[in-house]
């Protein structure tokens, strides 16, 4: 499954899912870091975690049906769910 999660200003985020795992790609083409909230209620369970494959110390969790992401300028996040 492929789905757009967020598209506003300089930020675009989409998800690719299978029955076993999910990936989120979030891109920021702007000159400033961007903080975004993606509503994922009904898509993923509470507390599921995603780890950035480009910066493994960056981990986010679904809380209150949302993922809160900070995306550095001129780059992106490649987030993978825990298997």
The pLDDT tens digits for 26-59 are 999 999 999 999 999 888 888 899 999 999 999 9
Length of the chain, in residues: 83
Question: What was the pLDDT predicted at 79?
Answer: 98
Question: What was the pLDDT predicted at 65?
Answer: 93
Distance CA 28, CA 23 (A): 17
Task: Specify the DSSP element, H or E, that contains 2.
Answer: strand 2-8
Asked if residue 83 has pLDDT above 80, the reply is no
Distance CA 49, CA 70 (A): 15
Distance CA 16, CA 35 (A): 21
């Amino acid at each position: 499954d492929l789905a757009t999660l967020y598209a506003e200003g300089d930020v675009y985020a989409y998800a690719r899912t299978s029955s076993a795992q999910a990936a989120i790609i979030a891109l920021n083409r702007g000159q400033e870091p961007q903080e975004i909230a993606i509503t994922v209620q009904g898509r993923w369970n509470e507390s599921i975690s995603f780890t950035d494959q480009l910066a493994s110390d960056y981990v986010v969790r679904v809380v209150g049906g949302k993922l809160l992401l900070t995306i550095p300028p001129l780059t992106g996040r490649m987030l993978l769910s825990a298997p």
